[in-house]
Amino acid sequence: MGQEIERKFLVVGDSWRRAALGEVMRQGYIPTQDARTVRVRQVGDLAYLTLKGPAVGLVRPEFEYPIPVEDAQVILETLCTPPLVEKTRYRLPLGDVVWEIDEFWGDNRGLIVAEVELTSPDQAVDLPEWVGAEVTYDPRYQNSNLARHPYSTWGT
């Protein structure tokens, strides 16, 4: 069984940009019940269907499958609830982990979040100076919630 174990943080400053490589992503969510998530993601000429179950602490079941880009485009435009989540994901290896920094665009412009995937929930990780407040347990920062309640609407 696949699983996701990650911690999520707000990003402060720009010092992370010097060594990070980015790729543009579009993703959408098909409505589900409870804490289950069905996501379609397009990254350049690749696309994926991802299924996620409810989290228990930091651990969440996750299954991801490649799908044809043409199918992903149709699903994003016809089956996913708008707005789509648009972002540039930067990858930055530091020590034993790879940080993923998501700079959001569109309705979530202005939000920058860093994630680090872990091998176990109790794995220690050194936090770089550009890591701010931890938002792992704040559901507003889940991408599926950013699709339903974009960052641009939080002040209202």
**Which of the residues 29, 90, 137, 151 is marked catalytic?**
29
* Euclidean distance between CA atoms 107 and 131, whole angstroms: 23
Rounded to whole angstroms, what are the CA distances from 43 to 49, 69, 107, 131, 140? 12, 9, 19, 25, 23
Is residue 141 among the annotated active site residues?
Answer: no
Q: Single out the residue of 30, 11, 7, 4 nearest to residue 101, CA to CA.
A: 11
* Euclidean distance between CA atoms 121 and 3, whole angstroms: 11
Residues with catalytic function: 29
